Amino acid sequence: MNLREYVRDIPNYPKEGIMFFDITPILKSPKALKYAVDALAEKFQNSGATKIVAAEARGFLFGTPLACKMDIGFIPVRKPGKLPFKNCSVTYDLEYGTDTLCMHEDALEKDDKVLIIDDLLATGGTAAGMVQLVKNTGAEIIGSGFVVELGFLNGGQVMRDAGAEPISLLTID
């Protein structure tokens, strides 16, 4: 399946000069959504993963069904103040500032093997933040998966440098 047919280009969003790549047409199509989840599952079927870590909100849309398909646990990563139990957190750099991600402190064990999953890999800041959050728990990162990668923003190299080799179903250069 050509997933590019299900990614809508929206110019000048969220601000002038930015091209936004909208994945909601993938979500709208049961065929495209199933394909994306199945394709990620196939790529990681022999990875030995025990948990999937994904950030809100769009990472949840692919990470949760993938965890179900792979019969492994799903760990939500959220912004500060959104998780009800004791949290660990990491603050990471973005292109224009910093951001913080939080995860329940008991979400991962040292023997967990973790996949980072998200809808889209752009500059890699959020995904690399998730890698650091996982590494801080002592769990092992075994890879990362994305439905779409914006190759021209070099997030793939950021993920390789962070120790989470990326696999993307669609790369837009």
The C-alpha angle 52, 104, 98, rounded to 5 degrees, equals: 85
Catalytic choice (8, 42, 56, 58): 58
Is residue 128 reached through a cis peptide bond, with omega within 30 degrees of 0 on the bond before it? no
Is residue 95 part of the annotated active site? The answer reads: yes
3-state secondary structure of 67: helix
CB contact at 8 A, 105 and 86: yes
What lies within 8 Å, CB to CB, of 124 at 6+ separation is: 153, 154, 155, 156, 157, 158, 159, 162
Q: What's CA 90's distance to the chain center, in Å? A: 16
Task: Mark whether 58 is an active-site residue.
Answer: yes
Tell me if 82 sits within 8 A of 55, measured CB to CB. Answer: no
The letter for the amino acid at 166 is P
Q: Nearest-CA neighbor of 66 among 48, 51, 46, 83?
A: 51
- Which residues have a catalytic role annotated? 58, 95
